[in-house]
Structure 1
Amino acid sequence: MLTLFANNVLLRGFLGKNADAPPSHGITEDSFAVLLLATVSGRWDLGNNEWIPRTDFHRIICPGPFFCGMVRGMRRGDYLEVEGELRALEQERGVVVAGERFPVKHSTYAVHAVRLQRLDRPEALVDYGDSDDGNREVQP
Protein backbone atom coordinates (compact mmCIF):
# COMPACT_ATOMS: atom_id res chain seq x y z
CA MET A 1 0.00 0.00 0.00
CA LEU A 2 1.28 3.46 -0.90
CA THR A 3 1.40 5.98 1.92
CA LEU A 4 0.46 9.52 1.03
CA PHE A 5 3.33 11.20 2.90
CA ALA A 6 6.78 10.07 4.04
CA ASN A 7 9.37 11.92 6.09
CA ASN A 8 12.18 9.46 6.85
CA VAL A 9 15.84 10.26 7.28
CA LEU A 10 18.57 7.65 7.76
CA LEU A 11 22.03 8.95 8.60
CA ARG A 12 25.22 7.08 9.41
CA GLY A 13 28.28 8.99 10.55
CA PHE A 14 30.57 10.14 13.34
CA LEU A 15 29.74 12.47 16.20
CA GLY A 16 31.33 15.87 15.61
CA LYS A 17 31.31 16.72 19.33
CA ASN A 18 30.28 15.16 22.63
CA ALA A 19 26.54 14.65 23.17
CA ASP A 20 24.76 17.60 24.76
CA ALA A 21 22.39 16.02 27.30
CA PRO A 22 20.91 17.34 30.55
CA PRO A 23 22.25 15.98 33.86
CA SER A 24 20.36 13.10 35.51
CA HIS A 25 18.68 15.31 38.09
CA GLY A 26 17.44 17.71 35.36
CA ILE A 27 15.67 15.23 33.09
CA THR A 28 11.92 15.72 32.67
CA GLU A 29 9.37 14.45 30.13
CA ASP A 30 10.10 17.55 27.99
CA SER A 31 13.90 17.12 28.07
CA PHE A 32 15.93 16.50 24.95
CA ALA A 33 19.52 15.83 24.00
CA VAL A 34 21.34 17.23 20.97
CA LEU A 35 23.88 15.44 18.79
CA LEU A 36 25.99 16.80 15.95
CA LEU A 37 26.50 14.04 13.38
CA ALA A 38 29.06 14.37 10.57
CA THR A 39 28.53 12.61 7.25
CA VAL A 40 30.98 12.62 4.36
CA SER A 41 30.24 12.58 0.66
CA GLY A 42 31.96 14.15 -2.31
CA ARG A 43 32.49 14.30 -6.02
CA TRP A 44 35.20 13.43 -8.49
CA ASP A 45 36.74 16.42 -10.29
CA LEU A 46 37.53 15.04 -13.73
CA GLY A 47 39.54 18.10 -14.78
CA ASN A 48 42.04 17.73 -11.93
CA ASN A 49 41.55 13.97 -11.50
CA GLU A 50 40.94 14.27 -7.75
CA TRP A 51 38.27 13.53 -5.18
CA ILE A 52 36.68 16.62 -3.60
CA PRO A 53 35.25 15.58 -0.19
CA ARG A 54 32.31 17.29 1.48
CA THR A 55 31.49 16.99 5.17
CA ASP A 56 27.99 17.89 6.35
CA PHE A 57 27.03 18.31 10.00
CA HIS A 58 23.48 17.35 10.98
CA ARG A 59 21.74 18.49 14.16
CA ILE A 60 19.98 15.52 15.78
CA ILE A 61 17.31 16.19 18.42
CA CYS A 62 16.80 13.23 20.75
CA PRO A 63 13.51 13.85 22.61
CA GLY A 64 12.50 12.42 25.97
CA PRO A 65 14.11 10.90 29.04
CA PHE A 66 15.01 7.62 27.30
CA PHE A 67 17.20 9.29 24.67
CA CYS A 68 18.68 11.71 27.25
CA GLY A 69 19.95 8.77 29.29
CA MET A 70 21.04 6.80 26.24
CA VAL A 71 23.25 9.47 24.66
CA ARG A 72 24.82 10.90 27.84
CA GLY A 73 28.06 8.91 27.46
CA MET A 74 28.47 9.42 23.72
CA ARG A 75 31.66 11.19 22.72
CA ARG A 76 33.14 12.86 19.67
CA GLY A 77 34.16 10.22 17.12
CA ASP A 78 31.50 7.64 18.06
CA TYR A 79 30.02 5.93 14.99
CA LEU A 80 26.19 6.07 14.92
CA GLU A 81 23.18 5.30 12.79
CA VAL A 82 20.20 7.62 13.29
CA GLU A 83 16.70 7.25 11.92
CA GLY A 84 14.25 10.09 12.28
CA GLU A 85 12.13 12.83 10.75
CA LEU A 86 13.37 16.02 9.16
CA ARG A 87 11.79 19.08 10.77
CA ALA A 88 12.10 22.79 10.09
CA LEU A 89 12.25 25.36 12.88
CA GLU A 90 11.34 28.85 11.78
CA GLN A 91 12.78 31.71 13.82
CA GLU A 92 12.38 35.42 13.41
CA ARG A 93 15.58 37.46 13.47
CA GLY A 94 16.22 41.13 13.14
CA VAL A 95 18.31 42.46 10.27
CA VAL A 96 19.62 46.03 10.27
CA VAL A 97 19.70 47.78 6.90
CA ALA A 98 20.74 51.44 6.68
CA GLY A 99 20.15 51.84 10.42
CA GLU A 100 16.62 50.43 10.29
CA ARG A 101 15.71 47.05 11.79
CA PHE A 102 13.58 44.57 9.78
CA PRO A 103 12.21 41.20 10.94
CA VAL A 104 13.32 38.28 8.77
CA LYS A 105 12.18 34.66 9.07
CA HIS A 106 15.03 32.15 9.12
CA SER A 107 14.58 28.37 8.85
CA THR A 108 16.91 25.80 10.37
CA TYR A 109 16.54 22.06 9.99
CA ALA A 110 17.08 19.21 12.41
CA VAL A 111 16.46 15.48 12.46
CA HIS A 112 14.19 14.37 15.32
CA ALA A 113 15.40 10.90 16.22
CA VAL A 114 13.06 7.93 16.50
CA ARG A 115 15.84 5.29 16.51
CA LEU A 116 19.49 5.58 17.46
CA GLN A 117 22.13 2.86 17.32
CA ARG A 118 25.80 2.94 18.20
CA LEU A 119 27.82 1.00 15.62
CA ASP A 120 31.27 -0.58 15.71
CA ARG A 121 33.88 1.68 14.14
CA PRO A 122 34.65 0.57 10.60
CA GLU A 123 38.16 -0.62 10.00
CA ALA A 124 39.59 1.85 7.53
CA LEU A 125 42.59 0.74 5.54
CA VAL A 126 45.03 3.25 4.19
CA ASP A 127 47.32 2.35 1.30
CA TYR A 128 50.62 4.14 1.75
CA GLY A 129 51.97 3.02 -1.63
CA ASP A 130 54.79 0.69 -2.54
CA SER A 131 57.35 -0.14 0.10
CA ASP A 132 61.05 -0.63 -0.76
CA ASP A 133 60.70 -4.40 -1.25
CA GLY A 134 57.87 -4.08 -3.76
CA ASN A 135 55.16 -5.45 -1.44
CA ARG A 136 52.03 -3.41 -0.85
CA GLU A 137 51.84 -2.06 2.68
CA VAL A 138 48.35 -1.67 4.11
CA GLN A 139 47.93 -0.36 7.63
CA PRO A 140 44.75 -0.01 9.70
Structure 2
Amino acid sequence: MMTLFSNSVLLRGFLGRNAEAPPLQGITKDAFAVLLLATVSGRWDLGNNEWIPRTDWHRIICPGPFFCGMVRGMRRGDYLEVEGELRALEQDRGVVVAGERFSVKHSTYAVHAVRIQPLDRPEALVDYGDSDDNTEVQP
Protein backbone atom coordinates (compact mmCIF):
# COMPACT_ATOMS: atom_id res chain seq x y z
CA MET A 1 0.00 0.00 0.00
CA MET A 2 1.37 3.41 -0.95
CA THR A 3 1.28 6.23 1.59
CA LEU A 4 0.12 9.59 0.38
CA PHE A 5 2.89 11.59 2.07
CA SER A 6 6.38 10.77 3.26
CA ASN A 7 8.94 12.89 5.07
CA SER A 8 11.97 10.82 5.98
CA VAL A 9 15.67 11.56 5.95
CA LEU A 10 18.49 9.04 6.43
CA LEU A 11 21.94 10.53 7.04
CA ARG A 12 25.26 8.86 7.75
CA GLY A 13 28.24 11.01 8.67
CA PHE A 14 30.58 12.41 11.28
CA LEU A 15 29.81 14.83 14.10
CA GLY A 16 31.33 18.23 13.47
CA ARG A 17 31.34 19.17 17.17
CA ASN A 18 30.42 17.70 20.53
CA ALA A 19 26.71 17.13 21.18
CA GLU A 20 24.89 20.08 22.75
CA ALA A 21 22.70 18.64 25.51
CA PRO A 22 21.18 20.25 28.61
CA PRO A 23 22.73 19.47 32.01
CA LEU A 24 21.27 16.43 33.77
CA GLN A 25 19.22 18.55 36.18
CA GLY A 26 17.90 20.60 33.23
CA ILE A 27 16.39 17.68 31.32
CA THR A 28 12.61 18.01 31.17
CA LYS A 29 10.03 16.39 28.92
CA ASP A 30 10.41 19.38 26.53
CA ALA A 31 14.24 19.30 26.51
CA PHE A 32 16.20 18.67 23.33
CA ALA A 33 19.78 18.14 22.26
CA VAL A 34 21.44 19.36 19.06
CA LEU A 35 23.94 17.57 16.81
CA LEU A 36 25.86 18.95 13.84
CA LEU A 37 26.43 16.16 11.31
CA ALA A 38 28.68 16.37 8.24
CA THR A 39 28.02 14.33 5.11
CA VAL A 40 30.42 14.27 2.19
CA SER A 41 29.66 13.79 -1.48
CA GLY A 42 31.18 15.20 -4.63
CA ARG A 43 31.61 14.95 -8.35
CA TRP A 44 34.33 14.05 -10.79
CA ASP A 45 35.55 16.93 -12.97
CA LEU A 46 36.37 15.21 -16.26
CA GLY A 47 38.08 18.27 -17.73
CA ASN A 48 40.68 18.45 -14.94
CA ASN A 49 40.52 14.74 -14.05
CA GLU A 50 39.97 15.45 -10.35
CA TRP A 51 37.45 14.78 -7.60
CA ILE A 52 35.63 17.89 -6.32
CA PRO A 53 34.39 17.10 -2.78
CA ARG A 54 31.39 18.74 -1.16
CA THR A 55 30.61 18.73 2.57
CA ASP A 56 27.08 19.43 3.76
CA TRP A 57 26.30 20.27 7.40
CA HIS A 58 23.02 19.09 8.92
CA ARG A 59 21.47 20.36 12.15
CA ILE A 60 19.89 17.44 14.01
CA ILE A 61 17.31 18.17 16.72
CA CYS A 62 17.08 15.32 19.25
CA PRO A 63 13.80 15.82 21.16
CA GLY A 64 13.00 14.53 24.62
CA PRO A 65 14.80 13.18 27.67
CA PHE A 66 15.73 9.87 25.99
CA PHE A 67 17.75 11.52 23.22
CA CYS A 68 19.23 14.09 25.63
CA GLY A 69 20.67 11.26 27.70
CA MET A 70 21.68 9.19 24.70
CA VAL A 71 23.72 11.84 22.89
CA ARG A 72 25.27 13.41 26.01
CA GLY A 73 28.64 11.64 25.55
CA MET A 74 28.86 12.00 21.77
CA ARG A 75 31.96 13.82 20.60
CA ARG A 76 33.30 15.48 17.48
CA GLY A 77 34.35 12.81 14.98
CA ASP A 78 31.84 10.16 16.10
CA TYR A 79 30.33 8.27 13.16
CA LEU A 80 26.50 8.10 13.23
CA GLU A 81 23.45 7.12 11.27
CA VAL A 82 20.45 9.38 11.88
CA GLU A 83 16.90 8.83 10.71
CA GLY A 84 14.38 11.62 11.05
CA GLU A 85 12.00 14.13 9.49
CA LEU A 86 12.98 17.31 7.69
CA ARG A 87 11.30 20.34 9.23
CA ALA A 88 11.34 24.02 8.34
CA LEU A 89 11.35 26.75 10.97
CA GLU A 90 10.24 30.16 9.79
CA GLN A 91 11.61 33.13 11.73
CA ASP A 92 11.11 36.87 11.46
CA ARG A 93 14.35 38.78 11.02
CA GLY A 94 14.89 42.49 11.00
CA VAL A 95 16.60 44.01 7.97
CA VAL A 96 17.67 47.65 7.73
CA VAL A 97 17.52 49.24 4.26
CA ALA A 98 18.37 52.92 3.82
CA GLY A 99 17.90 53.50 7.55
CA GLU A 100 14.43 51.91 7.58
CA ARG A 101 13.78 48.62 9.39
CA PHE A 102 11.77 45.85 7.70
CA SER A 103 10.64 42.44 8.95
CA VAL A 104 11.60 39.57 6.65
CA LYS A 105 10.65 35.89 6.95
CA HIS A 106 13.63 33.53 6.94
CA SER A 107 13.40 29.71 6.76
CA THR A 108 15.93 27.35 8.30
CA TYR A 109 15.81 23.58 8.07
CA ALA A 110 16.67 20.86 10.57
CA VAL A 111 16.24 17.12 10.85
CA HIS A 112 14.16 16.02 13.86
CA ALA A 113 15.62 12.67 14.89
CA VAL A 114 13.50 9.58 15.39
CA ARG A 115 16.46 7.13 15.48
CA ILE A 116 20.18 7.58 16.13
CA GLN A 117 22.62 4.72 15.69
CA PRO A 118 26.31 5.06 16.61
CA LEU A 119 28.41 3.21 14.02
CA ASP A 120 31.92 1.79 14.05
CA ARG A 121 34.38 4.16 12.43
CA PRO A 122 35.17 3.01 8.89
CA GLU A 123 38.74 2.18 8.01
CA ALA A 124 40.24 4.57 5.49
CA LEU A 125 42.15 3.14 2.58
CA VAL A 126 45.05 5.39 1.64
CA ASP A 127 47.09 4.95 -1.54
CA TYR A 128 50.39 6.80 -1.23
CA GLY A 129 51.39 5.92 -4.81
CA ASP A 130 54.94 4.88 -3.78
CA SER A 131 54.38 1.14 -4.13
CA ASP A 132 51.93 -1.41 -5.49
CA ASP A 133 50.38 -2.20 -2.09
CA ASN A 134 47.78 -0.12 -0.26
CA THR A 135 48.22 0.71 3.38
CA GLU A 136 45.22 0.87 5.70
CA VAL A 137 45.32 3.79 8.10
CA GLN A 138 42.95 4.42 11.00
CA PRO A 139 41.55 8.00 10.78
Give your verdict on TM over 0.5: yes
Task: Please name the residue that 1:136 is paired with.
Answer: 133
Unaligned runs of 5+ in 1: none
State the Cα distance separating 1:130 from its structure 2 match. Answer: 2.4
What percent identity do the matched residue pairs reach?
Answer: 85
Aligned-partner Cα distance in 2 for 1:79–1:53: 19
- Calculate the TM-score normalised by the size of structure 2: 0.96
Check whether the contact 2:125–2:134 (CA below 8 A) recurs between aligned residues.
no
Report runs of 4+ in structure 1 exceeding 6 Å deviation.
none
Deviations 1:33-66 (A, max 9, x none): 0000000000111111110000000000000000
Aligned partner of 1:138: which letter? T
Measured in 1, the distance between the counterparts of 2:71 and 2:133 equals: 41
Q: Aligned with 1:65: secondary structure?
A: helix
State the superposition RMSD in angstroms: 0.8
Contact preservation (8 Å) 1:87, 1:109: yes
Which runs of no fewer than 5 residues in structure 2 stay unpaired? none
TM-score (norm. length: structure 1): 0.96
Distance of aligned partners of 1:137 and 1:6 in 2 relative to their CA distance in 1, 3 Å threshold: closer
- Asked whether the equivalents of residues 13 and 80 of structure 2 are also in contact (C-alpha less than 8 Å), the reply is yes
The 5 A counterparts of 1:1-140 are 1-131=1-131, 135-140=132-137
The count of corresponding residues between Structure 1 and Structure 2 is 137
CA distance in 2 between counterparts of 1:137 and 1:66 reads 43
Task: For 2:129 and 2:44, locate their aligned partners in 1 and report how far apart those are by CA, in whole Å.
Answer: 21
Q: Distance in 2 between matches of 1:87 and 1:50?
A: 35
Quick one: distance in 2 between partners of 1:48 and 1:137? 25
Is this contact kept in 2: 1:40–1:54, CA < 8 A? yes
- C-alpha distance in structure 2 between counterparts of 1:137 and 1:50, whole Å: 20
SS in 2 for 1:47: coil
Query: What code does the residue aligned with 1:130 have?
Result: D
Q: Is the 8 A contact 1:130 1:137 kept in 2?
A: no
